[in-house]
Structure 1
Amino acid sequence: MQTLRRSTVLFTCLLIAACGSTPPLAPGRSRASLISAEQSRDAAIHAMGLVGTPYRYGGNTVDGGFDCSGLIGFVYRQSAGLATPRTVARLADFGEPVAFDALRTGDLVLFGGGRPTHAGIYVGENRFVHAPSTGGEVRLDRLDGPYWSRQRVEVRRP
């Protein structure tokens, strides 16, 4: 009877430990990411390929044009099969926050502070792709450029 009780206690302890442990990660994934590093790089490359596409408020297709969140949604859906929020405000809670000094290709850069008003996809070397404004087109800009360096930026990792 005592052996059965010890076995039961041991089994219960193992079960509790297993339930409380963190599951192993798939190769190439981090705790703070819904997609792999390879998928993040693919998203950045895909975003760069869309430079020159016309801006259109509410746009989310190559043929119809993009606004900033439409561009992000299109890129992540196509390159990683990931659905992203449709508005910049909702992107502020999407994925995980990342320190600016930990920025990697494929991360989202959100501008405007606690209530962001614009977003883009970081593509490396201090550059990001975004759909900036009515009458414009998707373009590649620098985070350290004259305008963007003065903006408050937050980083989110899908």
Structure 2
Amino acid sequence: MNPDLVVGAVRLWLGTPYRHQASTLGAGCDCLGLLRGVWRSLLGAEPVKMPPYRADMRDPGHAGALRQAAEQWLLPAPAALEAGQVVLFALAGAAPAKHCGILVSPTRFIHAQERLGVVEANLTEAWARRLAGRFVFPAAD
């Protein structure tokens, strides 16, 4: 997938409020909903229906589900950090990835954050330490 198309699609979501389990441009989304919305704008219908999931990171029922979905529906990213890549973050040490966003440059990413909504942020050292996976969207058919 052309990284410029991905960056253009995700930038449209800036300012969308945070809403758990939502994925509607301008109305609300969480981090996964942001990826789902970008998927729909680039590739069409989502490949699977999302089951309900809890907002807190202590949900053992979905441990590893974010990485599993990324490995199933996205492609491995090249070695270098590049715009358009989907990034997964492990927010609690060695725990499974529970947060995601999309790089808009090697040093900046867009994600949905509670209380802030969809924002662009620096990929600071603290965020970089939490990187738990990088993927790219498949090419459109």
User: Normalising by the residue count of structure 2, what TM-score does the alignment of the two structures yield?
Assistant: 0.70
What amino acid maps onto 1:127 in structure 2? Answer: R
Determine the structure 2 residue equivalent to 1:17. Answer: none
Determine the structure 2 residue equivalent to 1:148. Answer: 127
Q: Does 1 or 2 have the higher relative contact order (CA < 8 Å, sep 6+)?
A: 2
Aligned-residue offset at 1:69: 0.9
Once superposed, which parts of structure 1, at least 4 consecutive aligned residues long, lie more than 6 Å away? none
User: Normalising by the residue count of structure 1, what TM-score does the alignment of the two structures yield?
Assistant: 0.63
2-structure distance, mates of 1:119, 1:100 = 18
- Structure showing greater radius of gyration is 1
Structure 1 pair 108–83 and aligned structure 2 pair: CA distance change class (3 A): same
Match of 1:115 among 96, 113, 126: 96
**Which one has a larger percent helix, Structure 1 or Structure 2?**
1
Q: Which runs of 5+ in 2 are unaligned?
A: 51-64
Identical pairs, percent? 28
Q: Which runs of 5+ in 1 are unaligned?
A: 1-35
2-structure distance, mates of 1:153, 1:141 = 17
**Which one has a larger percent strand, Structure 1 or Structure 2?**
2
Determine the structure 1 residue equivalent to 2:32. Answer: 69
SS in 2 for 1:153: strand
Would you say how many aligned residue pairs link Structure 1 and Structure 2? 118
SS in 2 for 1:149: helix
